[in-house]
Structure 1
Amino acid sequence: MKYTRIAALAALGVAATLSLTVCDSDDSGMDSSSKSSSSSSSSSSDGDSKSEGGSGSDGSEAGNAKSGSGKGTDARANAANGTETGGKVTFCKTEDLAIDATDAAPDVDSGRIDIIMINRGSTTCSATGFAGVDIKDADNTSPPIERGHAQPRVTIPKPGDAAVFNLAYDIDHTGDSPASPTDIEVTPPNETHTVSLKWPAGAGESKGAYPDVEVDPTHTTK
């Protein structure tokens, strides 16, 4: 009987040991499966993250490309407008202008003298604005002429083209005018060098005196 009980207890001990071993094995399998699943999830997450990072980089490059494209557009616009270095239009220099004065009176009562400035330079230049004008009188006085009320117009003559402005006044028919003009002193717009022109033959004298003469802004002949 004792041997039978001992054998039975031994058998029970072996069964318990086997049961514990099986449980440990199952737990280990679950742990490794969980770790494997976690690792797989982590790898997937890292891959997605890298993928998203790549998209962000591409988007940034595309944004930079667009930005560069915009700058190119601005550069072309500036070039078209002549605002790039070397593309600016400079003011016409007196030495590059062939200047002459002609009588252009539209009728017997309205005096008008056209001052014609031909661009003899090699590049287009700007003659926009009002020229400075003094009229030299026989008594050697040179009173300045006032500007008219007309608004300046863009005047950019190419080589060979002309910019024109005129002097306007009322002609005196009484013979009592105090004015006796001999020369017209002209300083082109935005210049400091002056040229002296003879008062055109046949141009009438002004009424009152030179303060009644007005100079208009330049314009092109085309």
Structure 2
Amino acid sequence: MKSIRITALAAVTVAAAFSLTACGGDDSGTNASAKDSSSAPSSSTGSSSSSSSSDSGSQSSDGSGSGGSEAGSSTSGSGKGTGTTANGTTQTGSKVTFCKSEDLAIDAADAAPGGGEGRINITMINRGSATCSATGFAGVDIKDADHTSNPIERGRAQPRITTLKPGDAAVFDLAYTIDSSGNSLSSPTNILVTPPNETHTVTLPWPTGAGAIKGAYTDVQVYPTHTTK
């Protein structure tokens, strides 16, 4: 009987030992699993880093692509700024430029209406091959016999659009009061004319028969151009 009990006890002890060993194996497995799971973030971090790198590469590619496109747009915008229109023509080509002195035949003539009023009409004919604009005030100086020249002031008048086709004429006038006393202190010899928006001056003789100027040259006024049509 003792032998049976000892054998049974030994069997129980062995079984307990196996049970403990099995439990220890489970714990080891759990720890390994925990370690594996703890290493997962590292893998995830690597993936995230890779993803970030990929995103960075994508942004860099997109960014440079956008930048290039924007630069292209800017260049295109710059092209439009120079006057390119939708149909490919240029605005500068369609604009009417101001008449140049070299393309104008300019003449001065007495046109006094009488009654003590002096007036000199100055005519500009477009001898060029293209339409041009003579809109505005011409610059005018009167040269005296003492070789001095005096600028003429503008009269109170609103300029009118004066576009000249080849062969067309524009007129502007000088107005002043005639001195019939015979004691005028002015002795005009020439009229110096600079067409509107030009810098080249044309010298004209003072018209024969024009009345003497009363007062000073500053009392003479120039009026804006207008067409003869």
TM-score, reference length from structure 2:
0.61
CA distance in structure 1 between the partners assigned to 2:108 and 2:128 by the alignment: 20
Q: Is the 8 A contact 1:145 1:214 kept in 2?
A: no
What's the RMSD between the two structures over aligned residues? Answer: 4.8
CA distance in structure 1 between the partners assigned to 2:41 and 2:174 by the alignment: 96
Matched, 1:168 2:175: yes
Displacement of 1:153 in angstroms is 5.5
Distance 1:68 1:153, change over 3 A: farther
Which runs of no fewer than 5 residues in structure 2 stay unpaired?
85-90
CA distance in structure 2 between the partners assigned to 1:99 and 1:219 by the alignment: 13
Distance 1:185 1:213, change over 3 A: same
Matched, 1:131 2:135: no
Question: Partner amino acid for 2:191?
Answer: I
Distance 1:209 1:149, change over 3 A: closer
Displacement of 1:170 in angstroms is 0.8
Q: Is the 8 A contact 1:134 1:184 kept in 2?
A: yes
CA distance in structure 2 between the partners assigned to 1:147 and 1:99 by the alignment: 20
C-alpha offsets along residues 3-54 of structure 1, whole Å, 9 cap, x if unaligned?
5544443332222212211222233234434544764586468647855874
Question: Partner amino acid for 2:22?
Answer: L
Q: Which residue pairs with 2:127 in the alignment?
A: 120
Which runs of no fewer than 5 residues in structure 1 stay unpaired?
none
Q: Which residue pairs with 1:10 in the alignment?
A: 14
Q: Which residue pairs with 1:186 in the alignment?
A: 193
SS in 1 for 2:30: helix
Percent sequence identity over matched residues? 38
How many pairs does the alignment contain?
Answer: 215
TM-score, reference length from structure 1:
0.62
Matched, 1:146 2:143: no
Distance 1:8 1:158, change over 3 A: farther
